[in-house]
Amino acid sequence: MRISELSARSGVAIPTIKYYLREGMLHQGRQTAPTRAEYDESHLRRLRLIRALLDVGRLSVSSIKKVVAAVDDESLPFHEMLGTAHYALSPGAQPEPGEDWQQARVEVDHLVEQLGWDVKPHAPARDELAQTLVRMRQLGVAVDLAPYVETARKLVSEVEMDKIPFDGPRDAAVEALVLGTVLYGRVFDALRRMAQESESAARLGS
């Protein structure tokens, strides 16, 4: 297909497609003339991935480049490729001075070990959870992770990971991971808020 058709089918403007090509985020088409190239379904998949990372994941161009590079590196194991996307989606949390943060981080590391989860020591989610535990204690919020751990485990192992097409194109798998992680995260938050409102009404009256 020509770039005009690629634009029409993807919903991405031609100048934006050309920008992605220049930045190496989108692979070049097959050159058919000095100023003409042909594109295929792989370009459509890549554009869907880029838009998912940009519009849903809210990633910067530099972060998207890292994810795309991992997708294109066929020598990189599938698990490492998905991890690159996972880490890019993390809002990040910087270690804080003081014993409170150190204690929380030790707690998180112990929890991961206790659960038998295979999570790398530098995984951003470890610091995020540690930072959240510190804030909870500072605000006097009781810390009870057990029901949330079990809910997360069941959601991921019994539902979410089954939605990722491990036997398909690498960029399609990353797109599914990004959309599932971000959008279903929002779905879960919205459902919790509605459930809380309903339970409040049931206990306290409308």
- pTM of this prediction? 0.81
Write down the pLDDT at residue 103: 94
Q: What is the mean pLDDT of residues 72-94?
A: 88
Write down the pLDDT at residue 194: 96
Burial class of residue 119 in the structure, from the number of CB atoms within 10 Å of its CB (0-12 exposed, 13-18 middle, 19+ buried): middle
pLDDT at residue 166 tops 80 = yes
Tokens 């112990």 correspond to 110
pLDDT at residue 92 tops 80 = no
Helices 170-204, 78-89: axis angle to 10 degrees equals 50
Q: What is the mean pLDDT of residues 150-157?
A: 93
Burial class of residue 123 in the structure, from the number of CB atoms within 10 Å of its CB (0-12 exposed, 13-18 middle, 19+ buried): middle
The DSSP H or E segment spanning 116 is none
- What percentage of the chain reaches a pLDDT higher than 70? 100
Write down the pLDDT at residue 8: 93
Between 164 and 31, name the one with better pLDDT: 164
b/e burial code for range 147-177 (CB count within 10 A of at least 16 → b): eeeeeeeeeeeeebeeebeeeeebbbbbbbb
The DSSP H or E segment spanning 24 is none
With cut-offs at 50, 70 and 90, classify the pLDDT of residue 206. Answer: low
- What percentage of the chain reaches a pLDDT higher than 90? 63
Q: Is 25 within 8 Å of 53 (Cβ atoms)?
A: no
